[in-house]
Structure 1
Amino acid sequence: MSATTKPKQPRTPLRGARKDLLAASVFLTPFLLLLVIFQYIPLFVLARNSLYDYTLFNPDAAVFVGVDNFVRAFTDPATVQSLLVTFAFVAGMVLVVVPVAFLFAVYLNGRLPARAVLRTIIFLPVVTSSVVVATMFVFMLAQNGLINSALRSIGLPAAPFLTDPAFALPSIILMSAWQQVGLAAVLFLGGLQAIPDDIVEAAVVDGAGPFRRMVSITIPLLSRTTLLVVVVMTVFALQAFAPALLMTSGGPSGTTNLVMYHIYRTAFYLQQPGLASAISIIVLLFALIVSLIQMRLLRTRWNY
């Protein structure tokens, strides 16, 4: 070693922490900037706009109205109907997706040939664009669509799937459930595969049959997974927009006027972006409450 060479200083905990913080900052800063630009700034603008009354044609003439837009949101008949329709849509989605996805997961969890192919087929609608799925269902459910053509061919009358208030919302629920059931099935499948084998084997030794094991072991141990599926489907249903836009345009008589479609119409057709912003905040707060309930329930301890 030459006389001018300095010995390398040992790595101290403080220096190591600084280097780790610098490395983490380099990787996280771009994503944090994107988060601030595309999420937090728009939320701030949304909250500000909800306090003003203006039109998109002349935004400079905005008038500060305080919480009047929120009052209007709960007193406007169209907005109240939209919220009620959305709640019915959410309930329908949960009631259809959860049991069907659970049965799919139980079926896929068995020893079946070509399970990977079946999982792909079930999950494929999830990664398909909502626009494509909605358009496909319009071709099938329209007055001159595939299903009605098949009904006429066997002498039965055509069904008004998208034009009758009694059929329109169930048709949209069916389409959305068909698209999202694969995601819920995969979540349930992960929960089933996480159940310890020794518990099931002990139940078999004790003489418990398949139904008894399902009721006493499988369903209770899937409590967290079921809760997660319910919350995910609820949030998805609150964000649904394409079905109402492409399949029914909110009709007939507003029976499929989902809240996201109503926000879109309020802002761009009725030229009331302030009211639309207030409705958006109401929906956001509802989704936040659902998420907080999920976090609270997930803290509960289950004995696995």
Structure 2
Amino acid sequence: MATISANKKSALGRIAKRFAPAGGGRARRDYAAAALFLAPFVILALIFQYGPLVLMIRNSFFDYTLINPDLSTFVGFDNFVRIFTDSGTVQSLVVTLLLAVGVVVVTIPLAFLLAVFLNGKLPARGAVRTMIFLPVITSSVVIATLWTFLLNANGLVNSALGAVGISPQPFLTSGSQALPAIIALTVWQQLGMATVLYLGGLQALPKDLMEAARIDGANGFQRFVHITIPMMSRTTVLVVVVITVFALQSFAPAYIMTGGAPNGTTNTLVYLIYRTAFTLQQPGYASAISVLLLVIALAISLVQMRLLRTRWDY
């Protein structure tokens, strides 16, 4: 009996040792394998993302030209002070903020309603979703060129207006119409992204909750207002942040459609950075504006997440 008991203990010991957690040697091998797989991404990120970011911050404290970059002068915070004292830069800042606000205010309700519509039973629903998302993956240069043909003095839109007796409109040359035209273009391009994000949130809603509300007597409008909208708050935070960041980075419409005209009413910050660095040969000042734009994007994202955060965690 003692021999049998000892054999049982020995067998149990071998089994326990076999299924025991890996020791330090295996853990080190796992970490080494993970580091090996992550190394290419980390190296590329350091070279093409974080390296240029550090260089941009460094350059924002210098004054130099691209023709003679070695002849740089340390100016400290003078470039940042100049941002808020230069009327053209302040105007570009205001234009960019107006563009972002206009795009968000128009895109969010349209995308939400369109997502609710697409979430229903529709014929050829997949094809419709593809058509809505297609502008998102289309080149911004192509879209800006297309809208230029549509909105110029002899474009399709003015031809259609003339057919119904309305005089041609200066969409791209009027100080009051150029920025709304760029806002409309940006909304059209980013609407598909916001719609897809909302559609994913709608499809993740618990159906049993909707069914319980229906059984309790809530009609479709009541379920939409009291269940769907509150439970989509987290998705709304994501959509608002994403669309705002995209709007702040607007460049192609100002570059192709208006060139910042008329009178700087479409001169966005990114377009100003391009002109300042490569046309005016002031890359140090352009780097300072870039740092400001980065700070604005981070600040707006944090504020939006704070304001839109709900006390319910779904």
The structural deviation recorded for 1:267 is: 0.9
In the other structure, the counterpart of 1:148 is 158
Instruction: Look up the match of 2:42.
Output: 32
Assess, with a 3 A threshold, how the Cα gap between structure 1 residues 17 and 189 changes in structure 2: closer, same or farther: same
Instruction: Give CA-to-partner distance per residue, 1:56-85, whole Å, 9 cap, x none.
Output: 122222111100000001110000000000
Shift of 1:297: 6.7
**In terms of mean alpha carbon deviation, does 185-194 or 289-298 score higher?**
289-298
Q: 1:16 aligns with which of 19, 26, 32?
A: 26
Change (3 A) 1:20 1:272: same
Write out aligned runs for 1:108-119 (5 A). 108-119=118-129
Deviations along 1:102-133, whole A, 9 cap, x unmatched? 01100011111111111111111111000111
- Displacement of 1:294: 5.7
Any residues of structure 2 matched to 1:136-175 within 5 Å, and which? 136-175=146-185
Structure 2 residue identity aligned to 1:68 = D
Of the two, which has the highest radius of gyration? 2
One-letter amino acid of the structure 2 residue matched with residue 157 of structure 1: S
Which of 129, 139, 147 pairs up with 2:139? 129
Alignment match, 1:287: 297
Corresponding pairs, count: 296
SS for the counterpart of 2:72 is strand
Mapped pair 1:50 → 2:60: yes
Q: Which residue identity is paired with 2:117?
A: Y
Deviation for aligned residue 1:155: 2.9
Q: Is structure 2 residue 130 aligned with structure 1 residue 120?
A: yes
Calculate the TM-score normalised by the size of structure 1. Answer: 0.93
Within 2, Cα distance between the matches of 1:135 and 1:265?
20
Q: 1:192 maps to what in 2?
A: 202
| Structure 1 gap ranges (5+) | 1-8
Letter in 2 for 1:76: D
Paired residues for 1:52-71 under 5 Å: 52-71=62-81
C-alpha RMSD over aligned residues: 1.7
Question: Structure 1: how far apart are the matches of 2:204 and 2:295?
Answer: 33
Structure 1 residue 91 displacement after superposition: 0.2
TM-score (norm 2): 0.90
The 1-side partners of 2:92 and 2:126 are apart by 40
Other-structure match for 1:6: none
Which one of the candidate residues 257, 267, 275 is aligned to 1:257?
267
Q: Who is 1:221 aligned against? A: 231
Question: Equivalent residue for 1:237?
Answer: 247
Give 1:203 shift: 1.5
Residue 83 of structure 2 aligns with which residue?
73
Amino acid paired to 1:219:
I
